[in-house]
Amino acid sequence: MKRQSTIFGYELFAIQMLYSGASAGFIYPSFIVRSTEGAYWIPITIWAACAIASSWIYSRLLTQLNGEKLFRRIHTSVGVIWTCIICLPVLLFLFTALVIMLRAYTEVITMTMLPTTPISFLNGMLLAPAALALAGMMPIVRAARVFFLLTLLLSLVLLIVGLSDVHWTLGSPWIRTNGDFFFDKRFYAGSFMWMGFVITSFIGPYTPRSARRAWGSYIAAIVCTLPLIAGYIYLPILTFGRDLSKRLTVPFISKMDTVSHYWILFENLTAFFVSVTMLYILVIMALKMHAIGEMFSTLWPRANRPVIYAGALLAVYAAATLVTSWREIESIVLITIGLRFYVMFVFPLLGILAVAYGRRVGKEEEI
């Protein structure tokens, strides 16, 4: 009997919001700020439209699963060899995404709170997401529900407090753009910000109804996170101006350093922001680890699950430890643009073709 999806609309909405919070605060603002001289909300809106298009393609694929998991259905339809060929870029994407997220976060910790702590020690935080991923999908979902309610409120408080010392004239031009971002690779590097639906497509079984509900939850999450993303980008601009913001490694972190009011309970808002972001990141890294585990479990059903997650943990930890600087993190994001485009647009189309092929072959065999 095929399993029904155990992830509901609110839970998917919470996961998508957590994904945005984990992805928007560190590398993304600097990429967008340096990619254009015009209005920043225009490239943000364009990528939001691309994300909706990508998620629609995925939703068409998920509606054909009939209660199965995505990787398993592709494996059933086209076999092991073609599944490996189709899914290898996806595996590389998940691996590099984990390395980037882990290493970017630990780098920010060393910048703001623990400058003398070895990176190799801080990278050990990956143990918590790996353990959560090994525990299964529902523990991740329960953690997402709790963390979402807490982090959303705290993030809104930070954004509201950040508005206290801005200068609105620094944000101009508000409307004008000449499309210069289309010719800047940093605009395309920001694609990682808009891949929340991709991650949730990998993690559970879907029926036609649950796939449609998942897509609706994602659209709602995009609409709700646009102000959050805009805040992470515009608050540094409205504080430092365009020229200085382009020179900042992590613009929003620098913005939090400038906020100082006697009535604020927390003296160091930067440390507070980094601590809140940890809750976002733990859940999203657990989801990515779980997606890797699902892929390997599909291709090698007899493989021991703890061994799979232990291997993934060691590989990600080793790669993240070998990354020595923030410049290398940005270079990895730029180098892997092609992988993200494949996962966003090419993979779901290949998945639709694979499922259709499996259905046709199955009908021919029945005849």
The H-assigned helical ranges of the chain are 9-24, 27-35, 41-62, 70-112, 119-122, 127-135, 137-162, 185-189, 196-202, 208-240, 242-247, 251-258, 269-299, 305-322, 326-335, 337-341, 347-366
Q: Which amino acid does the sequence have at 263?
A: W
Confidence of residue 2 (pLDDT cuts 50, 70, 90): very low
227 vs 44, 171, 232, 238, CA distance in Å? 11, 15, 9, 15
Is residue 318 pLDDT above 90, yes or no? yes
Q: Please state the pTM of the whole predicted model.
A: 0.91
What's the confidence (pLDDT) of residue 266? 62
The Cα 57–Cα 249 span in angstroms is 35
- The arithmetic mean of pLDDT across residues 279-293, rounded, is 92
Residue 98 pLDDT > 90: yes
- Look at the alpha carbons of 323, 324, 326, 328 in this order and tell me if their dihedral is positive or negative: negative
- 5 falls in which pLDDT band (50, 70, 90)? very low
Check whether the bond before 89 is cis (ω within 30° of 0).
no
What pLDDT is attached to residue 1?
Answer: 37
Q: Residues 226-254: what's their mean pLDDT?
A: 90
Mean pLDDT over each residue of the chain, to the nearest integer: 88
Q: Is 40 exposed, middle or buried (0-12, 13-18, 19+ CB in 10 A)?
A: buried
Residue with the larger pLDDT of the pair 366 and 92: 92
| 109, 182, 311 from 51: Cα distances, Å | 30, 16, 31
Confidence label for 262 from pLDDT (cuts 50, 70 and 90): low
- Beta carbons of 139 and 282 less than 8 angstroms apart: no
For residue 291, the model assigns a pLDDT of: 92
168-193 tens-digit pLDDT: 888 888 888 888 899 999 999 999 99
Q: Which of the residue ranges 257-261, 307-311, 341-345 would you say has the lowest mean pLDDT?
A: 257-261
Question: At residue 249, does pLDDT exceed 70?
Answer: yes
Rounded CA-CA distance 247/258 in Å is 16
Position 363 pLDDT exceeds 50: no
Which residue type does 61 have?
A: L
* Of 117-121, 173-177, 260-264, the least confident: 260-264
pLDDT of residue 366: 41
Residue 272 has pLDDT above 50, yes or no: yes
C-alpha to C-alpha distances, 95 to 58, 85, 235, 237, nearest whole angstrom: 20, 16, 31, 32
pLDDT exceeds cutoff 50 at 239: yes
Question: What residues contact residue 200 under an 8 Å CB cut-off, 6+ apart?
Answer: 7, 12, 15, 16, 214, 218, 287
Residue 6, pLDDT score: 59
pLDDT for the residue numbered 128 = 92
Rounded to an integer, the average pLDDT of 135-151 is 88
For residues 46-69, average pLDDT: 92
Question: How much is the average pLDDT of 226-232?
Answer: 91
